[in-house]
């Protein structure tokens, strides 16, 4: 007898499951995917979309189309609560959904706690859709002669956003804006010195300023306050302050990790509720906590799909092995990149070309699911 499988989110960790929905449905199972958008954007190409290297269509998957084409149900909504005892989901619209097996790929969100008061012209780097709105506003402001941009956050996404804003203005023949990154105590402090140096030099060559030494305490429309008492005026502010897992697990009282991610064992399974699985940024992998990078979400795919199948039909669960070091390439705009893996680090155009090639291949592979 068929079972009810519900997927929360159609993100990076669900790609293989989404590609195989028709086989689950052919075996008599009902599959429902819930998501707040009919498309899913590939974040690795988000900064490139901001800089107009890519169109929005190039970097997104048609989630609803892929689900419905295979006989599944797509529900345009967001999950707000999980009731693990009743095996039910409550949605933002107030509707409820029952499941036998649940898979969570609800991603992560940029922390908004620094914002106070007016939010006009403040954008965050996630969801990736917000980069589209920011792009439109950047061009409007620059055309009106207002182009002081502040980016709050000292990680790679702030560097990628800064470099791609520079590229966007250059492409439109607009005056280069004054772009300042407020990195907190140190810029890209998680990364080796050589990587930081290459990124810094690439940005500074294009006049992008990095302000380090103090956290940003408060952000309001048009202004930043630093913890050391300094303040800074800006026409547009980006928040790139790092991400936290979706709050739905902590809100539902499920066992979670320190930041609120769904606690999962080596089978990507909630130890307290074995019919609940998860992958990507929204989980806390008990055995060895993982960085919030798409690489892990992508690596989890086959194991997550296998274990969902086993939960529906029986068999032996597979453990997830995170694997070794992963390749990082940052797209710094204007055709420049920085690549890092293990002992290998280099910057410039070759790094960008390689990232562009890998990202386009990834998209091609999964966009193929959309074809009739």
Binding segment for ligand FAD among 4-12, 23-31, 191-199, 338-346 (CB under 6 A)? 4-12
Please select the residue that binds ligand FAD; options are 126, 200, 244, 306, rule is CB under 6 A: 126
Please select the residue that binds ligand FAD; options are 43, 183, 202, 301, rule is CB under 6 A: 43
Q: Does 155 bind ligand FAD (CB under 6 A)?
A: no
Q: Does 138 bind ligand FAD (CB under 6 A)?
A: no
Tokens of 230: 């300094």
Whole-number Å distance between alpha carbons of 163 and 159: 6
Order of strands, edge to edge, in the sheet holding 216-220? 216-220, 223-226, 231-233
Closest listed residue to residue 110, CA positions, set 94, 127, 93, 122: 127
Cβ atoms of residues 308 and 17 within 8 Å: yes
Q: Does 301 bind ligand FAD (CB under 6 A)?
A: no
Task: For tokens 């990154």, name the residue.
Answer: 181
Which parts of 254-283 interact with ligand FAD (CB under 6 A)? 280-282
Q: Does 248 bind ligand FAD (CB under 6 A)?
A: yes
Please select the residue that binds ligand FAD; options are 5, 17, 35, 276, rule is CB under 6 A: 35
Please select the residue that binds ligand FAD; options are 72, 84, 107, 184, rule is CB under 6 A: 107
Q: Does 37 bind ligand FAD (CB under 6 A)?
A: yes
Binding segment for ligand FAD among 17-25, 37-45, 54-62, 269-277 (CB under 6 A)? 37-45
Q: Does 9 bind ligand FAD (CB under 6 A)?
A: yes
Residue 80 or 214: the one with the smaller Cβ distance to ligand FAD is 80
Residue 106 or 303: the one with the smaller Cβ distance to ligand FAD is 106
Residue 281 or 334: the one with the smaller Cβ distance to ligand FAD is 281
Binding segment for ligand FAD among 42-50, 53-61, 137-145, 167-175 (CB under 6 A)? 42-50
Q: Does 78 bind ligand FAD (CB under 6 A)?
A: yes
Binding residues with ligand FAD: total (CB under 6 A): 35
Q: Is the dihedral of CA 60, 65, 67, 73 positive or negative?
A: positive
Residue 38 or 225: the one with the smaller Cβ distance to ligand FAD is 38
At its nearest, how many Å lie between ligand FAD and the CB of residue 262? 11
Q: Does 10 bind ligand FAD (CB under 6 A)?
A: yes
Please select the residue that binds ligand FAD; options are 24, 66, 101, 125, rule is CB under 6 A: 125
Which parts of 213-232 interact with ligand FAD (CB under 6 A)? none
Q: Does 245 bind ligand FAD (CB under 6 A)?
A: no
Please select the residue that binds ligand FAD; options are 105, 135, 301, 307, rule is CB under 6 A: 105
3-state secondary structure the chain: CCCEEEEECCCHHHHHHHHCHHHHHHCCCEEEEEECCCCEECHHHHHHHHCCCCCHHHHEECHHHHHHHCCCEEEECCEEEEECCCCEEEECCCCEEECCEEEECCCEEECCCCECCCCCCEEECCCCHHHHHHHHHHHHHHHCCCCEEEEECCCHHHHHHHHHHHHHHHHCCCCCCEEEEEEECCCCCCCCHHHHHHHHHHHHHCCCEEEECECEEEEECCEEEECCCCEEECCEEEECCCEEECCHHHHCCCCECCCCCEEECCCCECCCCCCEEECHHHEEECCCCCCCCHHHHHHHHHHHHHHHHHHHHCCCCCCCCCCCCCCEEEECCCCCEEEEECCEEEEEHHHHHHHHHHHHHHHHHHHHHHCC
Cβ atoms of residues 75 and 34 within 8 Å: yes
Residue 295 or 310: the one with the smaller Cβ distance to ligand FAD is 295
At its nearest, how many Å lie between ligand FAD and the CB of residue 327? 9
Q: Does 8 bind ligand FAD (CB under 6 A)?
A: yes
Residues at the site binding ligand FAD, with contacts judged by CB under 6 A: 8-13, 34-37, 40, 43-44, 46-47, 78-79, 105-108, 125-126, 157, 160, 246, 248, 280-282, 292-295, 297
């Amino acid at each position: 007898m068929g079972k009810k499988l519900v997927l929360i989110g159609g993100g990076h960790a669900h790609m293989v499951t989404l590609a195989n929905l028709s086989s689950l449905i052919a075996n008599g199972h009902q599959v429902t995917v819930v998501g707040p958008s009919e498309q899913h954007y590939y974040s690795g190409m988000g900064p490139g979309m901001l800089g107009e290297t890519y169109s929005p269509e190039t970097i997104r998957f048609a989630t609803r189309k892929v689900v419905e084409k295979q006989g599944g149900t797509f529900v345009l909504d967001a999950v707000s609560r999980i009731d693990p005892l009743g095996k039910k989901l409550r949605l933002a619209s107030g509707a409820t959904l029952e499941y036998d097996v649940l898979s969570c790929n609800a991603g992560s969100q940029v922390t908004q706690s620094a914002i106070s008061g007016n939010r006009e012209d403040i954008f965050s780097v996630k969801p990736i859709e917000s980069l589209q709105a920011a792009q439109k506003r950047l061009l409007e402001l620059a055309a009106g002669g207002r182009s002081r941009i502040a980016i709050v956050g000292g990680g790679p996404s702030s560097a990628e956003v800064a470099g791609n804003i520079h590229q966007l203005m250059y492409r439109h023949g607009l005056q280069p804006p004054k772009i300042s990154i407020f990195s907190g105590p140190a810029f890209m402090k998680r990364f080796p010195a050589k990587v930081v140096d290459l990124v810094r030099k690439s940005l500074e060559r294009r006049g992008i300023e990095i302000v380090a030494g103090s956290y940003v305490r408060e952000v309001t429309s048009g202004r930043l306050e630093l913890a050391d008492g300094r303040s800074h005026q800006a026409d547009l502010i980006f928040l790139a302050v790092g991400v936290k897992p979706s709050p739905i697990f902590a809100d539902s009282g499920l066992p979670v990790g320190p930041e609120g991610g769904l606690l999962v064992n080596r089978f990507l399974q909630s130890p307290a509720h074995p019919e609940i699985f998860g992958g990507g940024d929204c989980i806390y992998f008990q055995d060895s906590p993982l960085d919030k990078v798409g690489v892990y979400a992508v690596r989890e795919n086959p194991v997550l799909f296998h274990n969902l199948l086993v939960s529906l039909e029986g068999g032996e669960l597979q453990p997830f092995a995170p694997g070794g070091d992963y390749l990082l390439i940052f797209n710094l705009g204007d055709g420049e990149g920085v690549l890092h893996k293990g002992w290998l680090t280099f910057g410039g155009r070759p790094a960008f070309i390689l990232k562009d090639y890998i990202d386009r291949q990834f998209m091609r592979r999964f966009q193929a699911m959309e074809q009739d």
